[in-house]
């Protein structure tokens, strides 16, 4: 009788990863996926026993009961159990919780770490398994408890003092503070004027070149205004320009190190416009495995959550062989390039690299989608380039005398491209090479006279620090030691999904709510909102992982100070921030508060003084109290029921509402000058159902529409029609006005989705006299007359828009 085949159980996090591993381990292993964490702190309560050494209460995550049951059943029948979640703190916690659920009897449970999902790596890891790292798990547990203590005890304060639904986070709130602090730096910034003076020169041989004034009368000079600049110009213009010195040298530029999590997120943002969340999602796909035709599912990159620049000897050897074969000996340094990781990096992990250099991006193009290919090419190019020879430049710097003035010109020529033949690191969307001011200089000799062609003065102003993009915020967090590379994507995603910030031209700007919440937290929880304190906590978590300090001691030290701040905030914290504005009725300070319709100014003398007002900010960020609207209650009459209209305020500002609400729900917008900006009746338009007049209305998002004046008896509505036929061939629709999610007006066919024609400019019912394109567009530039032009790309028809009779 044949012995039954031994069956081992191996548990990973994701089904995709399970599929890749199954291919290599064969029928002797049953591969199951936990689909992430299976246990966590409860959602509906704190779940941490503060009085009993911070013991956490773990419960099964909703929806994971069936998965846990399946894992337990498989574990009972297995000869051996191998836990293979991701090789980081979160993965260690998943393994620990599963082991606690499955660990019955004398059956041994092994921990397996896969840095890459290739046949060799998988078989080697299973052949030499380890055990669960208790220190790493306790580090994760300490982080989870810390985040729960902060989030679940500060957030309710914000709900009761400011607004329900708000949240605070130990790291998230510090990241928000960085954004708010940067905004205040920008608002307080005072531009300083300065000037530059550039000489356009020509030597005996081409090309012409430029030199900038750097010294005057033997001293460094900073031109502060036009008068000073013009004075030097008049002195210099009649002088002889002579080459005083010429310095030549070779300069090498070394390749960037391979990617770690933070640099991958930054570079993917700069070059691919990927958010951190999108980058990590795509990288996870590449790590867990992609179908490569007959070869099956294969992991294409190493583990993507790492802060180590370490590379395996085998990977470096493979890269060097590829470089020599593809590019030649000149591009291969004598010794492999190595890169030093920052202090505290997890050197057990490798940097992010392709699992095989032989799988170049061109070969993978048919198997990967657009995002996967773009990110894989970035990772592959960066890894190969990091093992290539440096680029070499011939640099020349010349100093040119003209009377008391000294000008300097710098030039550089790339004489060997080295690693740049394959890859150059991005700098805010540009490459380092193209970001400089260097130029090609002609052959120059000391004592040579050069001709002055032109003196070019230029006015400049110092610039404020730029607002954070995702890339620069990640860099700031990393430099300050805030959070871990694996948490950046979640932090940024949380910030974007709250009402604390908005994104303008790909840069973070805080909302008034974000500024208010940050100010309240800084006042009441100074340690939690201190970047240095947060960075220190990260170091303490690293110490726990290294086994240098018990996790409960870290929590005890933290809660000693935090608990006192919490008790004080519960007694004294108010949901208001004082301003420098005084109440016009009682002269007491006004404070910013939050209400159901947004933020407003309220007198701090409440309830004795109930004065409130809306506010804006000036260009320096100072609070400015809004004046009451020109529309006074009772000035306008409801066209539906004849009762007075009253002023209300909603999310989108002031509006007029019928005083007969809820019997009459008529509303009307108030324009910028305080008048009602919508006509009471749309001329010539009657309701299709009852024949009454149609009124122009506006919904919450600002989109105009037509509604029957007999509402609510007649609820007929129509889109705001332009009356212009849709220009698509064969379409019988009409263009109607719409508003995008971001509040921008556009025009689309009313037969959508059958017809998807759309245009962003205001349409004009006419035909282009040059190319015959139907429906022109109207452009209305500021401080200029409107212009009529063709909407077809490449057609340059344009003429002033004729005024409509009666305008």
In degrees, to the nearest 5, what angle opens at C-alpha 559 toward C-alphas 556 and 563? 145
Burial of 303 from C-beta contacts in 10 A (0-12 / 13-18 / 19+): buried
Task: Please report which helix (H) or strand (E) contains residue 305, including its range.
Answer: none
- Structural element, H or E, at residue 651: none
Burial 131-155 (b: 16+ CB within 10 A, else e): ebbebbbbbbbbbbbbbbbbbbbbb
- Rounded to whole angstroms, the Cα distance separating 56 from 74 reads 28
Is the C-alpha dihedral spanning 520, 526, 530, 533 positive or negative?
negative
Question: In the annotation, is 303 catalytic?
Answer: yes
Inter-residue contact 729 to 749 (CB < 8 Å):
no
Cα–Cα distance, 8 to 6 (Å, whole number): 7
Q: Tell me the three-class secondary structure of 508-559, residue by residue.
A: EEECHHHHHHHHHHHHHCCCCCCHHHHHHHHHHHHHHHCCCCCHHHHHHHHH
Pairing of strands 787-789, 774-779: antiparallel
Q: How many CA atoms lie within 13 A of 689 on its CB side?
A: 12
Between CA 4 and CA 246 the distance in angstroms is 84
The CA distance from 766 to 29, in Å, is 72
82, 303, 331, 500: which is the annotated catalytic residue? 303
C-alpha 405, offset from chain centre:
46
Rounded Cα distance, 774 and 764, in Å: 9
- Token couple for 288: 């867990």
Angle at 65 between CA 62 and CA 70, to 5 degrees: 150
611 contacts 621 by C-beta, under 8 angstroms: no
Rounded CA separation 563/567 (Å)? 6
- Return phi, psi of residue 599, to 5°: -90, 150
Angle formed by the axes of helices 261-272 and 470-480, nearest 10°: 160
- Are residues 31 and 12 in contact, defined by beta-carbon separation less than 8 angstroms? yes
CB 636 within 8 A of CB 668: yes
Interatomic CA distance for residues 574 and 283, integer angstroms: 44
**Helical H segments across 289-400, by residue range:** 313-327, 361-364, 370-385
Name the strands in the sheet holding 8-12, side by side, starting at the edge strand that comes first in the sequence: 29-33, 8-12, 81-83, 109-111
Spell out the alpha helix ranges (H) of 210-250: 226-236
Residues 223 and 197 sit within 8 Å (Cβ to Cβ): yes
Nearest to 299 by CA among 8, 22, 27: 22
- The answer to whether 670 touches 631, Cβ cutoff 8 Å, is yes
Give the integer Cα–Cα distance in Å for 792 and 718.
29
Distance of alpha carbon 636 from alpha carbon 632, whole angstroms:
8
Q: Considering all CA atoms of the chain, what is the largest pairwise distance in Å, rounded to the nearest integer? A: 109
Helix axes 488-497, 261-272, angle to 10 degrees: 50
Q: For residue 670, what are the β-bridge partners?
A: 676
Give the catalytic positions in this structure.
303
């Amino acid at each position: 009788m044949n012995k039954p085949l031994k069956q081992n159980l191996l548990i990973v996090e994701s089904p995709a990863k399970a599929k890749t591993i199954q291919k290599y381990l064969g029928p002797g292993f049953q591969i199951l996926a936990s689909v992430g964490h299976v246990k966590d702190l409860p959602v509906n309560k704190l779940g941490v026993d503060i009085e009993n050494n911070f013991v956490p209460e773990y419960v099964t995550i909703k929806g994971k009961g069936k998965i846990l049951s399946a894992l337990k059943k498989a574990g009972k029948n297995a000869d051996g159990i191998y836990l293979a979640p991701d090789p980081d703190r979160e993965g260690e916690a998943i393994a620990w919780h599963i082991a606690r659920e499955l660990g019955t009897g004398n059956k041994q449970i092994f921990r397996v770490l896969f840095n890459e999902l290739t046949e060799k790596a998988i078989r080697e890891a299973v052949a030499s398994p380890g055990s669960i790292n208790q220190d790493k798990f306790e580090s994760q547990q300490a982080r989870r408890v810390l985040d729960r203590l902060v989030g679940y005890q500060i957030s309710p304060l914000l709900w009761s003092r400011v607004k329900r639904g708000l949240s605070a986070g130990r790291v998230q709130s510090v990241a928000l503070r960085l954004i708010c602090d940067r905004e205040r730096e920008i608002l307080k910034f005072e531009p300083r004027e300065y000037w530059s003076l550039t000489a356009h020169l020509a030597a005996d041989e081409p090309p012409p070149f430029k030199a900038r004034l750097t010294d005057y009368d033997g001293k460094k000079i900073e031109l502060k205004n036009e008068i000073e600049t013009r004075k030097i110009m008049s002195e210099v213009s009649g002088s002889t320009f002579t080459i005083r010195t010429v310095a030549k040298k070779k300069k090498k530029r070394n390749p960037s190190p391979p990617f770690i999590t933070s640099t991958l997120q930054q570079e993917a943002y700069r070059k691919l416009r990927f958010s951190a969340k999108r980058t990590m999602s795509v990288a996870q796909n590449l790590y867990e495995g992609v179908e490569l035709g007959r070869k099956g599912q294969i992991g294409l990159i190493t583990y993507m959550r790492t802060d180590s620049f370490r590379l395996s000897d085998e990977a470096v050897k493979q890269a060097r062989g590829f470089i020599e074969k593809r590019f030649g000996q000149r591009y291969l340094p004598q010794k492999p390039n190595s890169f030093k990781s920052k202090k505290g990096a997890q050197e057990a992990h490798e940097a992010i690299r392709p699992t095989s250099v032989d799988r170049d991006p061109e070969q993978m193009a048919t198997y990967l989608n657009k995002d996967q290919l773009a990110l894989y090419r970035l990772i592959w190019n960066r890894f190969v380039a990091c093992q290539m020879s440096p680029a070499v430049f011939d640099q020349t710097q010349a100093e040119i005398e003209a009377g008391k003035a000294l000008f300097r010109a710098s030039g550089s020529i790339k004489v060997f491209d080295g690693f740049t033949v394959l890859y150059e690191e991005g700098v805010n969307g540009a490459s380092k090479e193209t970001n400089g001011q260097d130029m090609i200089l002609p052959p120059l000799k000391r004592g040579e006279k050069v001709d002055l062609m032109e003196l070019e003065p230029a006015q400049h102003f110092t610039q404020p620090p730029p607002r954070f993009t995702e890339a620069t915020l990640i860099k700031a967090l990393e430099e300050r030691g805030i959070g871990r590379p694996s948490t950046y994507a979640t932090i940024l995603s949380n910030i974007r999904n709250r009402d604390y910030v908005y994104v303008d031209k790909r840069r973070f700007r805080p909302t008034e709510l974000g500024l208010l919440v940050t100010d309240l937290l800084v006042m009441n929880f100074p340690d939690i909102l201190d970047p240095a304190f947060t960075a220190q906590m990260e170091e303490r978590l690293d110490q726990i992982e290294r086994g240098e300090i018990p996790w409960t001691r870290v929590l005890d030290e933290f809660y000693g100070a935090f608990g006192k701040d919490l008790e004080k905030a519960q007694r004294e914290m108010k949901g208001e921030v004082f301003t420098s504005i005084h109440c016009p009725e009682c002269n007491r300070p006004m404070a910013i508060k939050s209400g159901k319709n947004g933020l407003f100014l309220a007198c701090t003398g409440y309830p004795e003084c109930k004065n409130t007002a809306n506010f804006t900010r000036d260009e320096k960020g100072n609070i400015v109290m809004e004046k009451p609207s020109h529309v006074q209650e009772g000035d306008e009459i409801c066209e539906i029921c004849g009762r007075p209209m009253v002023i209300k305020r909603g999310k989108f500002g002031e509006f007029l509402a019928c005083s007969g609400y809820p019997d009459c729900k008529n509303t009307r917008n108030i324009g910028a000058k305080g008048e009602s900006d919508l006509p009471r009746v749309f001329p010539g338009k009657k309701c299709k159902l009852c024949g009454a007049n149609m009124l122009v209305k506006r919904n919450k998002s600002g989109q105009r529409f037509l509604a029957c004046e007999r509402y609510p008896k007649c609820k007929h509505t129509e889109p705001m029609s332009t009356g212009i036929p849709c220009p698509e061939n064969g379409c019988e629709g009409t263009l109607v006005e719409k508003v995008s999610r971001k509040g921008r007006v556009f025009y689309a066919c009313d037969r959508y989705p059958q017809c998807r024609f759309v245009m962003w400019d205001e349409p004009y019912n006419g035909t282009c006299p040059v190319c015959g394109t139907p429906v022109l567009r109207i452009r209305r530039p500021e401080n200029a007359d409107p212009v009529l032009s063709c909407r077809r790309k490449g057609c340059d028809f344009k003429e002033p828009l004729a005024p409509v009779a009666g305008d």
